[in-house]
Amino acid sequence: MKNAIIVLSDPKSGSEEALGRVFNALAAAYDFKRAGEEVTLLFQGAGTRWAGELTKPSHPAHALYKSVEDTVAGVSCGCADVFGATESAKASGLDMLKDNPVPGTSGLPSLRKLRADGYDVIVF
């Protein structure tokens, strides 16, 4: 099986729900990876802000993030622009995804392409 995990939760909200959503997204990626299934993780929408947060060693989900960092496809370029996360996303070394040229943006990841490539898409 092929699995694509999309993180939309916003770390800026400061809520336990946002942390719980990203933590569970990372845990799902870990579970799929450990089982030998193909998995890719993308940060989109306000979730693009996680790129700068999860790389901090003091973050509670940092160790889990490091264990699945190799599964991260990248960050939505257009979303990072909108949510002010471009600089931190680039500093984290993640790819800026823009294969869906949405008008008025610098591009977003193509969920259609993921589905066409056989991925089950899970959103957190």
pLDDT of residue 15: 86
pLDDT of residue 74: 97
Quick one: average pLDDT of 7-16? 92
pLDDT digits (tens, 9 = 90+) for 56-111: 999 999 999 999 999 999 999 999 999 999 999 999 999 999 999 999 999 999 99
Q: How many residues make up the chain in this entry? A: 124
**Are the C-beta atoms of 64 and 28 separated by less than 8 Å?**
no
pLDDT digits (tens, 9 = 90+) for 37-61: 999 999 999 999 999 999 999 999 9
Quote the CA–CA distance of 34 and 68 in Å, as a whole number.
10
Sheet architecture: strand order including 2-7:
96-97, 72-76, 38-43, 2-7, 119-123
Amino acid at 27: A
Give the domain CATH number at 108: 3.40.1260.10
Range of the domain at 23: 2-123
Quote the CA–CA distance of 3 and 89 in Å, as a whole number.
22
The domain total for the chain is 1
pTM exceeds 0.85 for this model: yes
pLDDT of residue 119: 98
Quote the CA–CA distance of 81 and 84 in Å, as a whole number.
5
